[in-house]
């Protein structure tokens, strides 16, 4: 299982939100490159980079941070936040991202997302599924749709998407443990999927539990920044 550390960006700084709430913001480091290099030095290979300014604005804002990290580390970066136009996706790839991360757009504008998959190649996208009680949540988690996560995943696997990460909104940023039951159900239904867990990871044991149920990756953020998991421990998972 691959450990994928997360860096969330506001105003060019490394921050974390609790349950997606911009009012519950903690700044961890003024220099995201410094954080990324720590991850690289610890032997981690990937990075989940989220442009929170972009997510709020509906257009990519912190592409310079992406460009800096991509040019000065060898991390395989997925970048998301505010991807609404094909031109923004192109900027993300031109700035050094290996994957573009898409969430709400795949729910709200399926036709546009499918065009992107065809234009750039489905293997270039990391699809995010935010979930409340097995249903897809959108608009910064403020709105829960009628779409079951299983139908959502099935539809986009059929379009060629290979990597999907799933965040249980009720768990994110709360350090209360991941949604093992939900993830087990998803992996059982889609055993060939490159499934990445996200949200709630609070300890090395949580990561071991995710590995045991067959997750191919796990996104970890707050637990690292709060010192619940030490970087040197991640090499042993």
Q: What is the pLDDT along the chain (237 residues), one digit of tens a residue?
A: 999 999 999 999 999 887 677 888 889 999 999 999 999 999 999 999 999 999 989 999 999 999 999 999 999 999 999 899 999 999 999 999 999 999 989 999 999 999 999 999 999 999 999 999 899 988 656 678 899 999 999 999 999 999 999 998 877 667 789 999 999 999 999 999 999 999 899 999 999 999 999 999 999 998 999 999 999 998 778
pLDDT at 140: 59
Q: What is the CA radius of gyration of the chain?
A: 16
Catalytic residue among 51, 88, 130, 172: 130
Q: Which fold has domain 2-234?
A: TIM Barrel (3.20.20)
pLDDT at 22: 80
pLDDT at 221: 92
Report the distance separating Cα 207 and Cα 201, nearest Å: 7
pLDDT at 60: 95
* 206 assigned to active site: no
The residue extents of the domains of the chain are 2-234
pLDDT at 141: 61
pLDDT at 175: 77
Catalytic residue among 8, 51, 78, 209: 8
* 151 assigned to active site: no
User: CB under 8 Å to 106, separation ≥6 — which residues?
Assistant: 113, 127, 152, 156
pLDDT at 142: 66
In the chain, DSSP assigns E strands to: 2-10, 13-18, 21-29, 46-51, 76-80, 99-102, 125-132, 135-138, 143-148, 163-168, 194-198, 217-220
């Amino acid at each position: 299982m691959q450990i994928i550390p997360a860096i969330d960006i506001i105003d060019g700084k490394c921050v974390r939100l609790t349950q997606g709430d911009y009012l519950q913001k903690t700044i961890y480091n003024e220099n995201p490159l410094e954080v990324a290099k720590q991850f690289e030095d610890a032997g981690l290979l990937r990075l989940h980079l989220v442009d929170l300014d972009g997510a709020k604005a509906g257009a990519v804002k912190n592409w310079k941070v992406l460009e800096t990290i991509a040019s000065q580390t060898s991390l395989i970066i997925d970048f998301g936040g505010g991807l609404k136009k094909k031109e923004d996706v192109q900027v993300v790839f031109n700035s050094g991202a290996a994957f573009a991360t898409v969430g709400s757009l795949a729910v709200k504008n399926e036709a546009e997302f499918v065009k992107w998959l065809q234009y750039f190649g489905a293997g270039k996208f990391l699809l995010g599924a935010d979930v409340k009680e097995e249903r897809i949540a959108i608009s910064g988690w403020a709105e829960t749709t009628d779409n079951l996560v299983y139908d959502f995943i099935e539809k986009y696997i059929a379009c060629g998407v290979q990597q999907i990460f799933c965040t249980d909104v009720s768990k994110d940023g709360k350090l209360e443990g991941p949604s093992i039951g939900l993830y087990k159900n998803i992996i059982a239904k889609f055993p060939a999927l490159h499934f990445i867990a996200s949200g709630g990871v609070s300890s090395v044991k949580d990561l071991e539990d995710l590995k045991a149920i067959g997750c191919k990756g796990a996104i970890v953020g707050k637990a690292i920044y709060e010192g619940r998991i030490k970087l040197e421990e991640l090499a042993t998972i």
